[in-house]
Amino acid sequence: MNNQENLFNECFSKSGGRFNYEETHYNGDFVSAKHIMNSMIGFVRNKYSNLPEIHLDFIDNPSLNAAAALYKGSYYIGINAGTFFLIADLFMKVMSCKSVFPEIGDILLEIDEEKKISASLTFSGLFYNSDIGTAFSEPRDKLRLEHCYYYQSITLEYLVLHELGHIIRGHVGYIDSIRKGAQWSELEYESESNNNLPPSISQTFEMDADSFATNWAFLKLNRIINSKDLKKYRQPDYFGQDWLFASEHWSFAIYLFFRLFNFNQLDFEESKKKSHPPSSIRMIMILNNITELFRKTYKVELRDEVAKKCFDASLKGEKAFLEVTFQKSKINTLTDAFNEPGREYISSILKNWDDAKPLLKPHAFGELPPY
């Protein structure tokens, strides 16, 4: 390990330390995932010239989680190896199912055998476990396989942008200033690295990181849609040229990613005690945000059409999730989040920003937005 890798290893030692993927069969996959995420950091960095170095790597931990930290003067983003495997496994198995986007590629090439994701859910979260589920399978149709890589990229980019949001908006600097060595962890069961903030503040920071991620993801999508040289984005041409297509498939991938974090039945009193807003509430805020960004940038009168595309993509995402997990549908938690109590919950998170924003000012890089 080089010096930076050693520091990363120290920084995340409590959650497993650095994952030595170089010694696994998946070296190439991790190198390419890292390239996707570091490119995204580079894309954002252009706007923040005062942003210090950020070191991104994988943590040797099979659970679904990611974290951002300030350690010995440098910023770190740690993605659990389990998160990477869960995302890859989920999209590969979903796109091997004939019922998912049957219009894409030749579904007759896909086999009928059932597919189940290799994940186990325990009291401390979701873990990647290759002994569980069906054997790793990837779509036989080339185009469906390309869609998997596309969804993986969208998800990894979103995840790194979310963690980057915690750094750039000053969340990580702020928690480090009140409790030295504290890390921003995406799941609160890891109490060692929990941010220990009042839930109302922590949840509004999470909303802020999601908003940051969605805005930058949109800028990237928009750049691809308008690019004259799609080859450099390493994806089939048709992915990039149609913004309705882009909004639908982006929403599908992000829905499936959030669905991994479990869509529990909404209990707003219970939710108020947590560090993160309920996943379905976050998903609704993200869908509202991406729809609005597309509306502003493209044709205003098509707002309903984009909103419908994005919401329908979530419904497709739920169906696809059920195909590989055999769970019961939880789409009602998403529709519930649309209703009055859900809307009230969302507006309280947005309102808390007035209390959160002044805390972040000394630690943020660049302007903080209004909400």
- List of residues contacting Zn ion (CB under 5 A): 206, 209
Measured between alpha carbons, how far is 30 from 24 in angstroms, rounded to an integer?
10
Closer residue to Zn ion (CB): 76 or 101: 76
State in angstroms the smallest separation of the CB of 206 from Zn ion.
5
Closer residue to Zn ion (CB): 102 or 369: 369
User: Strand 183-185 relative to strand 125-128: parallel, antiparallel, unpaired?
Assistant: unpaired
In this structure, what are the phi and psi dihedrals at residue 116, rounded to the nearest 5 degrees?
-135, 135
Which residue is nearest to Zn ion, using beta carbons?
A: 209
Closer residue to Zn ion (CB): 102 or 198: 198
Measured between alpha carbons, how far is 3 from 57 in angstroms, rounded to an integer?
13
State in angstroms the smallest separation of the CB of 166 from Zn ion.
6
State in angstroms the smallest separation of the CB of 74 from Zn ion.
19
Which structure tokens are listed for 353? 């920003």
Question: What's CA 280's distance to the chain center, in Å?
Answer: 13
Which structure tokens are listed for 19? 């994952």
Closer residue to Zn ion (CB): 157 or 206: 206
State in angstroms the smallest separation of the CB of 207 from Zn ion.
10
Closer residue to Zn ion (CB): 206 or 248: 206
State in angstroms the smallest separation of the CB of 311 from Zn ion.
23
Measured between alpha carbons, how far is 260 from 325 in angstroms, rounded to an integer?
10
State in angstroms the smallest separation of the CB of 191 from Zn ion.
16
State in angstroms the smallest separation of the CB of 187 from Zn ion.
9
Closer residue to Zn ion (CB): 146 or 206: 206
Closer residue to Zn ion (CB): 57 or 186: 186
Helix ranges (H only) for the chain are: 3-11, 27-45, 81-95, 142-168, 171-178, 199-225, 237-241, 243-260, 268-271, 279-297, 303-325, 331-338, 340-351, 353-360
Other Cβ atoms within 10 Å of 4 Cβ, number: 14
Other Cβ atoms within 10 Å of 173 Cβ, number: 18
Which structure tokens are listed for 89? 């496994």
Helix ranges (H only) for 179-300 are: 199-225, 237-241, 243-260, 268-271, 279-297
Closer residue to Zn ion (CB): 19 or 258: 258
State in angstroms the smallest separation of the CB of 165 from Zn ion.
8
Q: What is the DSSP string of 100-114?
A: SSTTSS-GGGS--S-
